[in-house]
Amino acid sequence: MTDSKISADLIGTENGKRAAALTSDYAALGERLARQGSDIEAITAKVAEFFVAVPSWGVGTGGTRFARFPGVGEPRGIFDKLDDCAVIQELTRATPTVSLHIPWDKADPRELNAKAKSLGLGFDAMNSNTFSDAPGQAHSYKFGSLSHVDAATRAQAVEHNIECIEIGNAIGSKALTVWIGDGSNFPGQTNFTRQFERYLAAMADIYKALPGDWRIFSEHKMYEPAFYSTVVQDWGSNLLIAQTLGDKAFCLVDLGHHAPNTNIEMIVARLIQFNKLGGFHFNDSKYGDDDLDAGSIDPYRLFLVFNELVDAEHRGIKGFQPAHMIDQSHNVTDPIESLISSANEIRRAYAQALIVDRAALEGYQGDNDALMASDTLKRAFRADVEPILAQARLLAGGAIDPIATYRASGYRAKVAGERPASIGGSGGIV
Ligand code: PSV
Ligand code: MN
């Protein structure tokens, strides 16, 4: 028996109000897709099996370096966060796992397991934190962690990552994501080559501690907190890392970690081609690492990323199993609503990519018909696939309209009464 956060009766009542409209919208879309040779049932089944992990740190209100404006009823710690994650899963049926960040979410693994089990949740990739100092730690990360000039600081950062693997191992996780803030703020501050050598050696030590069935993901980021250079600056450096470490090492693509206008979908294609795509941190951005909700700024780009993933799926690449995670900061919205909406947008991009007429696309590419090739993608992108998404949720026990159902549940007001002192999303660190 799972401890439901949103009553099944309420979901049933809310779905009842929308069921007739969904039935007719789904039938109309089914007819339209059938005309182009696509089977709506098959697409719905694929969408229903597509999952994305929720970041534990995403359910608290985020902030900027200027201010944070806490919302009501914010989670006080990991167990409240898991409750909020369960709400998202119960309504969307798209987010059965949670990605933890250590030490923010550090707790007894037995209690984490028991809580997750009671909510019907599992755990996804573990995330280490050597970009800020934890209270009482011996060596500061002010000037770096895995690439620090001081061996003892590097050893401490390696130890922390190994601890993340151990916690993850006890809760059923199978991957470690490593993002470091190491870099420099001034030309000349560091020796690029020596710094990268130190990083690679430290990562090799972490790699040695990986259980046989685990993967390690390195995450690149162009800038911030270091503003002149970062050690894992771009996908090129990232690929070198994954290739140097070995078969269990892959690159993680956080959509917000690139220069504006970077062709991210092409980076994704390259990493797939060389079997080094580990997975994603989905979000959206206008200027930098804005951590805005997935699909809120440039849904076409999200679709183009999924177009590459579906293309790879079509080609039947062996062992292709990128991890899907969200990584966002919710500064002005209720984080639960943003995460519901983002999970939906990610599935939307997947569904749109699934209905691309791939045979036609290949034909146009072969004929150098640039206009029709582009039009083939646009045609799929323009399709309103919401009935497919809603049907996938409905069949899995979720809500036809998850945000309306969430609002009708009064969950936020209820937890506001139970959570008087909140600490915010990432333990107050953003
Ligand atoms: C860094 O900006 C990042 O994208 C990394 O994934 C971190 O783990 C996460 O955000 C939270 O700070
Ligand atoms: Mn990230």
Q: What is the pLDDT of residue 274?
A: 97
Cα 191 to averaged position of ligand 2 atoms, centre (Å): 26
pLDDT band at 424 (very low <50, low <70, confident <90, very high): very low
Ligand 1 atom with least separation from CA of 224: 2
Ligand 1 atom with least separation from CA of 256: 4
Q: What is the pLDDT of residue 118?
A: 98
Q: Is 68 in the pocket of ligand 1 (CB under 6 A)?
A: no
Cα 39 to averaged position of ligand 1 atoms, centre (Å): 38
Nearest residue to 303 via CA among 399, 396, 398, 385: 385
Ligand 1 atom with least separation from CA of 127: 8
Distance of alpha carbon 257 from alpha carbon 223, whole angstroms: 8
Q: What is the mean pLDDT of residues 98-126?
A: 98
Q: What is the pLDDT of residue 243?
A: 98
Domains along the sequence of the chain with CATH: 52-355+394-416 (3.20.20.150)
| CB distance 45 to 389 below 8 Å | no
Per-residue model confidence as pLDDT tens digits over 360-415: 999 999 999 999 999 999 999 999 999 999 999 999 999 999 999 999 999 999 99
Place of tokens 């779905």: 15
Answering whether pTM is above 0.85, one says yes
Q: What is the pLDDT of residue 428?
A: 42
Identify the three-state secondary structure at position 183. Answer: strand
Q: What is the pLDDT of residue 430?
A: 36
Q: Is the pLDDT of residue 422 over 70?
A: no
Residues pairing with 284 in the sheet: 292
Per-residue model confidence as pLDDT tens digits over 30-49: 999 999 899 999 999 999 99
Q: Is 327 in the pocket of ligand 1 (CB under 6 A)?
A: yes
Helix-then-strand count for the chain, H and E: 15, 12
Q: What is the pLDDT of residue 423?
A: 53
pLDDT band at 1 (very low <50, low <70, confident <90, very high): confident
Q: What is the pLDDT of residue 294?
A: 98
Q: What is the pLDDT of residue 348?
A: 99
| Token pair recorded at residue 63 | 């902030």
Q: What is the mean pLDDT of residues 172-198?
A: 98
Least confident of 44-53, 238-247, 312-321: 312-321
Of the chain, the percentage scoring pLDDT greater than 70 comes to: 98
